[in-house]
Structure 1
Amino acid sequence: MRFTILTSVSIVALFAIKVAAGSASGSYKTNGLTLEAPLSEKFKVIYARADEEHDHEHEDEHEDEHEHSTSNTTITGCHMHDDTQYCIDWEGNEGYIKPNQKNPQSNYTGCHLHGTEVHCKNDEEELQFVKLDESSEVTATTSESSSTSGISCHFHAGVEHCVDANGNSVHGADGDTCERVDRDYDIPLRTGLLFVILVTSSIGSFGPLVLRSFFKISTENMIITIIKQFGTGVIISTALVHLMTHAFLMWSNECIHLAYEGTGASITMAGIFIAFAVEYVAYRFLSHRLSKLSNIKENSSEDDAATNIATKTVSDEEDTVSLHGSYKAMHDKLSVAILEAGIVFHSILIGITLVVAADSYFITLFIVIVFHQFFEGLALGSRIMGLNDSVWSKILMAAVFAIITPLGMAIGIGTLHKFNGNDPSTIIALGTLDSFSAGVLLWTGLIEMWAHDWLFGNLRHAGVIHTSLAMSALMGGLILMSLLGKWA
């Protein structure tokens, strides 16, 4: 190119000299000498050199174009991450091949554009190359969180929940399959931590019983009130933040297709209704029994002699007080039994789904579950403690809670290599139990615990300090258990 420019300048310069000299024959005088310079010969040499340079430039351009066109039709450096193949295009951009190939190659040729999409050939099959920075759906099919693809995954009740860099939910780590994901599990670690959960749950459920037994304090004591109100907050937060959130994620999973979008809420409502119905039927039964016993006592007293009237009146009043005490004791025990039923339903799920979580998330989830079980055990233990029942009955109720989550973990370990969190039947089962348990805990938490203590119990007329501490404990239970919902 530079030679061509110089050639053009030289031709113009020579022509200008010829015109200035006024010699049409191509001769001019300088210092008395006549110089013959046939311009046609000079022009021929200059043009020949220019044409030769121009031909060389065209050849170089053709070679560059050929090389560029060849490199622009090939992607190379292909390698596998689990079931997904990643490659590098001619501009150095990393991307992945879709759909997944049964016989992946190390490079693909014949790449071309369809609009903005890059398509290549693999034998007769056409596939697409998707740049990572252009796709919000790409992830490796591993269960761990993928930082390279911008996808963050965690587990809700054994089912993987993934979001992209923009916070949008995507289906699992592989994005487009509901098949079971094979993972490597550290079984000895899970087996050992089963006993840690057992000890933690036992401390929570037996703690209030031991506290009252050793210190002989009443159920209206300040410490007991704080424990009970903290437990109330824990139960309500468990129902709303943990169970209902998990249930919503189950029912919105892409592996199932619901014709009725209110399925989860309907099952929660059913849980509330069943808890209410059980208590109402028991209340009517106990009231009828109390009324019948009272009538028997009244009829019996009318036949007594006049000399025994005063004595029998005192005795009847004591019997009536005893009957009312028995009624209250049975009612309280029924309420706590319903509360424990709701807790047990989801605690066994917690055990199963804790075990099937991927190793990369297992320890984090385990730490959260330890606190969850301790707080929930404390909530249940504080209610068991206040029952007017035998010591062995209380121990049995506390023991059921203590062993139920470890039992779920044992079941999970036994089914570890068969559990499929993406199977529609599994998702429906988990969603149903979570929704139902949420309804039961909402009834007991709001009605039997919160409303009973504050509107009809001892806190209705409590002093300022007592009320303030109880309210702080209630809010503390709500907040702390809700905070745990970030990880579980």
Structure 2
Amino acid sequence: MAKTIFYYVLTIMQLLPAMVAAECRCEADDLPRDGKSLTLKFKLGAIGAILGAGAIGVGLPLLGKRISVLRPENDIFFMIKAFAAGVILATGFIHILPEAFEGLTSPCIGETPWQKFPFAAFIAMVASIGSLMVDSLATGHYRRVHFGGKDGNKEVSINSKVVDEESNGAHAGHVHVHTHATHGHGGGSLVGEGSDELGEQLSKLELIRHRVTAQVLELGIVVHSVIIGITLGTSQRLDTIKPLMVALSFHQFFEGMGLGGCITQAKFKSRAMATMALFFSLTTPIGIGIGIAIAGVYDESSPRSLIIQGIFEAAAAGILIYMALVDLLAADFMNPRMQANTRIQLGSHISLLLGAGCMSVLAKWA
């Protein structure tokens, strides 16, 4: 799965320079542009700042083995994830989706068919449905691989065990178990061996779910990061580059925390965790590098550029909104451990609002 994501994004980055080269142009930008050498210095500085911020953000949750407060089993981890989920949700709704609407409804690309249908919303919806399908299919695939083709529904196997024990005169109660990726419900009693087996099965399903979530989330973040990096790299005005550099540094830091939390819960091997963290940290700087390289032929107001960027931004928005609501917030806020603890609930709600609020404020500059 990780290799597939890597090749997919690599293909996107190779095709973007060719796709965004302008053929048909809208009116030229009459605003004055600053010297190339001066803007290049700030762009190179932006690469270093954004790389460092992203690496720190994604790296902090991965230090859970050394910093006890950042471990997934601690209560504060719920609050950290809620803050990061708020950041990712605001990124989709406030930062990316409006840009997609603006690009795909621009007068530069013509009235037909772009002005006749809300393509940005449609693409975001399709991307959300696609994320759900990938989520479901990948989870099903991992279940079949890990359980050797056996029926993953433990309700059947555990109930069969209870029936066998009852027929042998053993004491057993009625059991009704629903197995989900993040939680389970049980009623009655179950003797030791079956209970241990069910617990192990639930742990495997939860781990599989976390791994799929981390990989799909990284895909959505990477697509957006490359596009926003190209935007900064092609800009020729310092009053655009300076605030964008600061805003993107905070943006990458907070998004990195959200992704790092998911990677930590997924319990990948150390090499896989390092690869995913490095890949996330490098995507925006790579996008800036691509933008610098194509700055001479790139016109952000050309029809082709607007369409390509609008499509990718709408898709990224759909992926991030789905992941934030379903795989991050719903999974944690419906967790029995959180629902049984008012302090965790209150802290997580406040963290969610703070994360979404901070990211919304940054929309003023980026």
TM beyond 0.5: yes
Which residue is 1:343 aligned to? 221
* Change over 3 Å in CA distance of 1:413–1:245 after alignment to 2: same
Offset at 1:424? Answer: 1.0
* Change over 3 Å in CA distance of 1:292–1:239 after alignment to 2: closer
Q: 2:54 aligns with which of 192, 201, 209?
A: 201
Which residue is 1:291 aligned to? 151
Verify: 1:353 aligned to 2:231, yes or no. Answer: yes
Which residue is 1:400 aligned to? 279
Distance, in Å, in 2 between the alignment partners of 1:217 and 1:365 is 30
Cα RMSD for the two superposed structures: 2.9
Q: 1:444 aligns with which of 313, 323, 330?
A: 323
* Change over 3 Å in CA distance of 1:172–1:448 after alignment to 2: farther
Which residue is 2:267 aligned to? 388
Verify: 1:414 aligned to 2:293, yes or no. Answer: yes
Task: Give the residue type in structure 1 aligned to 2:122.
Answer: S
Q: What does 1:46-195 align with in structure 2 at a 5 Å threshold? A: 173-174=29-30, 184-185=35-36, 186-195=39-48
Q: Which has the higher helix share?
A: 2
Note if contact 2:213-2:323 (Cα within 8 Å) is conserved in structure 1.
yes
Q: 1:325 aligns with which of 203, 206, 224?
A: 203
Offset at 1:292? Answer: 6.3
Distance, in Å, in 2 between the alignment partners of 1:171 and 1:453 is 49
SS of the aligned residue for 1:255 comes to helix
Q: 2:314 aligns with which of 435, 440, 449?
A: 435
Structure 2 portions without partners, runs of 5+ = 1-19, 21-25, 169-190
CA deviation vs aligned residue, 1:147-199 (integer Å, no higher than 9, x gap) = xxxxxxxxxxx9xxxxxxxxxxx977449xxxxx9874322331233122111
Q: How many aligned residue pairs are there? A: 303
Q: 2:117 aligns with which of 248, 261, 264?
A: 261
TM-score, normalised with respect to structure 2: 0.74
Which residue is 2:130 aligned to? 274
Distance, in Å, in 2 between the alignment partners of 1:348 and 1:217 is 29
Note if contact 1:171-1:254 (Cα within 8 Å) is conserved in structure 2.
no
Distance, in Å, in 2 between the alignment partners of 1:173 and 1:236 is 32
Q: 2:66 aligns with which of 188, 202, 213?
A: 213
Note if contact 2:233-2:290 (Cα within 8 Å) is conserved in structure 1.
no
CA deviation vs aligned residue, 1:40-99 (integer Å, no higher than 9, x gap) = xxxxxxxxxxxxxxxxxxxxxxxxxxxxxxxxxxxxxxxxxxxxxxxxxxxxxxxxxxxx
Offset at 1:293? Answer: 9.9
Task: Give the residue type in structure 2 aligned to 1:196.
Answer: A
Distance, in Å, in 1 between the alignment partners of 2:199 and 2:73 is 21
CA deviation vs aligned residue, 1:434-470 (integer Å, no higher than 9, x gap) = 000011111111111111111245322222x322221
Q: 2:251 aligns with which of 345, 369, 372?
A: 372
Distance, in Å, in 2 between the alignment partners of 1:222 and 1:324 is 21
Task: Give the residue type in structure 2 aligned to 1:324.
Answer: L
* Change over 3 Å in CA distance of 1:471–1:292 after alignment to 2: closer
Task: Give the residue type in structure 2 aligned to 1:368.
Answer: A
TM-score, normalised with respect to structure 1: 0.57
Which residue is 1:7 aligned to? none
Task: Give the residue type in structure 1 aligned to 2:224.
Answer: H
Distance, in Å, in 2 between the alignment partners of 1:214 and 1:388 is 16
Task: Give the residue type in structure 1 aligned to 2:344.
Answer: H
Note if contact 2:223-2:312 (Cα within 8 Å) is conserved in structure 1.
yes
CA deviation vs aligned residue, 1:318-342 (integer Å, no higher than 9, x gap) = 4554333222211110011111111
Identity rate, percent: 25
Verify: 1:362 aligned to 2:241, yes or no. Answer: yes
Note if contact 1:290-1:327 (Cα within 8 Å) is conserved in structure 2.
no
Verify: 1:423 aligned to 2:302, yes or no. Answer: yes
Q: Which has the higher strand share?
A: 1
Q: Which has the higher contact order (CA 8 A, sep 6+)?
A: 2
Verify: 1:476 aligned to 2:336, yes or no. Answer: no
* Change over 3 Å in CA distance of 1:200–1:218 after alignment to 2: closer
* Change over 3 Å in CA distance of 1:405–1:336 after alignment to 2: same
Farther-moved stretch of structure 1 (442-451 vs 394-403): 394-403
